[in-house]
Amino acid sequence: MDNKKIGQHISRQFNAEMEDIRHKVLTMGGIVEEQIEQASQAFMQCNLELAEKVIQKDDQIDSLEMEIDQECTEILARRQPAAFDLRMLIATIKIITDLERIGDEAARIAKMVIALEKTDYYHDKYHEIQHLLDMVKAMLHSSLDCLARLDASNVVDIKNQDVKVDREYGSIIRQLITRMMEDPRNITRALDVLWTSRSLERIGDHSCNICEHVTYMVKGKDVRHISQEELEKVISK
């Protein structure tokens, strides 16, 4: 092969490696989304089988995280990528950490379902977190959508959704405290709702992080810890 052909060959291989990583991250995102769906269903319907499924699948998420991490590091070592490719690898390393932690929160909810099944307190449909759950699922979905389309235009929206999630979370906590004070028999049940709400609120934070990392990838600018005004400026560029 002449030099030009070798060059094309290497660049084709490099593209294939980057594409492979992208594909795996999106797969990981899909699994994590399903985990949240199933963990929350398990919680709302006291479905033990579903809870077990979520816990079992957590290992697969952990393995994917380690696998993607290693592939990114290998490409950094062998290919010395620059510009967008370098940012994509760095952002990916961070995104998979957030995805893994979302998976952890799903597993945490599932483990609680199994612990609760052994007590007498599991008798309710926990309807008060339905709205928070819907909001957080939508946020995660939008973040993964940003990632799939490599499009940062929704990041301001997603960050605004997070403010609403925090507000809804705060309102649930206040309701729960009132109900606990009214009747101590409500305490155990209220704490179950409290832990699950807390997990959901954290998932909202991680979803925000993911779209911040996508913004860094696409726009080349670190947008963590900046004001909404500055963020809008970065996005509009």
* Site residues, a copy of itself (CB under 8 A): 59, 62-63, 65-66, 69-70, 73, 76-77, 80, 82-83, 86-87, 90, 93-94, 97, 177, 180-184, 187-188, 191, 198, 222, 224-225
Q: Which is nearer to a copy of itself, 104 or 168 (CB)?
A: 104
* Sign for the pseudo-dihedral over CA of 109, 114, 115, 118: positive
C-alpha 83/C-alpha 85 separation (Å) is 6
C-alpha 55/C-alpha 191 separation (Å) is 21
Angle between helices 228-236 and 155-182 (to 10 degrees): 150
Closest contact distance (angstroms) between CB of 188 and a copy of itself is: 7
Closest contact distance (angstroms) between CB of 31 and a copy of itself is: 15
Q: Which is nearer to a copy of itself, 40 or 199 (CB)?
A: 199
Closest contact distance (angstroms) between CB of 149 and a copy of itself is: 23
Q: Is the separation of the CB atoms in 185 and 149 below 8 Å?
A: no
Q: Which is nearer to a copy of itself, 59 or 157 (CB)?
A: 59
Sequence-ordered list of residues with C-beta below 8 angstroms from that of 91, at least 6 positions apart, any chain:
213, 214, 216, 217
Q: Which is nearer to a copy of itself, 137 or 203 (CB)?
A: 203
